[in-house]
Amino acid sequence: MRHLATFADIRTAKAVSDYLQNQQIDNEISSDEQGWCLFIADESQLDRAQQELEQFVNNPYDQKYLDASWIRSQSADIYTKVSKSNNSLFKQIWLETGIVTRIVSLTVLVIFALQIVGFHPWIYHYLGFPISLAAIDISQLHQLVTPAFMHGSLVHLLFNLFWWIWLGGKLEVEKGSGLLINLFLISALGAHLCQYSMVSGSFLGLSGVVYGLLGYAWVAGKLNKLKLQIPNGIFIMMLLWLVVGFAEVLAIPMANWAHLGGMIAGMVWARFEKPTRSN
């Protein structure tokens, strides 16, 4: 093992590590008091690794690094050997999220647990979308957004939580909790009102908000309002999933208009958002 570099945060170390792995340069990450250390397994590949590192330093937001991180995150090697008090990579990501990301995640988990143990009728009554907007009472206004906290299955829950923690956490760290709260509300409203207008008020899940985060991050990144860059491959994949939903080729219920409405809401927010000092 030969030391290549030490990074201040795990995300940068992972970006370099993922790209090197895709270039067939085996490496490992470990931590010490200085930060996150990247080691090259084969000494004969050290020079090549140093050249790749120099390219990364000169242009860390190059599309090839973003794509490499996505590919590696989907592979069986996602849990690259990272040792810091025996914490898993997921735990490190969780620790690097903000308070809003965590509160929403825990709320979703608690509500799902209550649904499982028999409180589903009560929860749906108080958190489900109003039956009629024409007769909505002021005490029901929260129900315009609360369907996002409910889920119909464990797979549905886990899929949405993965995206929420990964993408919502990154947005909150970079742009602040206020932005994430506003984005959650506007995406949920856009998603739910769109689904209600086009189909019905019978829907639930965080998917509309997730598409809102995705739409916001993609547009904001393209407009240089956001350091976080969503790889085009990820965005296209999610668009294809949206198309699959509308085509109804899968025998599963999907709130497709909610997905579309949430994504459009996020995109519009990013387009007209005023630049902040953090940008």
Retrieve residue 56's tokens: 């990364």
Q: Is the pLDDT of residue 84 over 50?
A: no
Residue 82 confidence (pLDDT): 40
**CB contact at 8 A, 262 and 191:** yes
Residue 43: its pLDDT value, please? 87
Q: Which of the four CATH numbers 3.30.70.980, 3.50.50.60, 3.30.70.2350, 3.90.550.10 does domain 2-95 have?
A: 3.30.70.2350
Q: Which of 17, 105, 259, 278 is catalytic?
A: 259
Q: Rounded distance, CA 12 to CA 10, Å?
A: 6
Rounded to a whole number of angstroms, the CA Rg of the chain reads 21
Q: Which CATH number does the domain 99-272 belong to among 3.40.50.2300, 1.20.1260.10, 3.90.600.10, 1.20.1540.10?
A: 1.20.1540.10
> What percent of the chain clears pLDDT 90, i.e. is strictly above it?
40
Q: Where are the domains of the chain?
A: 2-95, 99-272
Convert the pLDDT of each residue in 90-135 to its tens digit: 666 677 789 999 999 999 999 999 988 888 888 888 898 888 887 7
Please tell me which residue in 69, 105, 187, 207 is annotated as part of the active site.
207
The pLDDT-based confidence of 271 (bands split at 50, 70, 90) is very high
Q: Is 73 a catalytic residue?
A: no
Q: Which of 50-54, 68-72, 118-122, 257-261 has the lowest mean pLDDT?
A: 68-72
pLDDT (0 to 100) of residue 67? 64
Predicted TM-score (pTM) of this structure: 0.66
In this prediction, residue 139 carries a pLDDT of: 84
192-238 confidence digits (pLDDT tens)? 999 999 988 778 899 999 999 999 999 999 888 888 888 888 899 99
| DSSP string of 23-40, one letter each residue | TT--EEEEEETTEEEEEE
207 has catalytic annotation: yes
The dihedrals phi and psi of 95, each to the nearest 5 degrees, come to -70, -20
Confidence of residue 75 (pLDDT cuts 50, 70, 90): very low
Residue 96, SS3 per DSSP:
coil
Let me know if 277 is exposed, middle or buried by CB neighbors in 10 A (0-12, 13-18, 19+): exposed
Residue 92's pLDDT is what? 67
pLDDT of residue 150: 92
Q: Are 154 and 78 in contact (CB under 8 A)?
A: no
Taking 90 as the threshold, does the pLDDT of residue 247 lie above it? no
Q: What is the mean pLDDT of residues 32-49?
A: 88
What pLDDT is stored for residue 68 in this prediction? Answer: 61
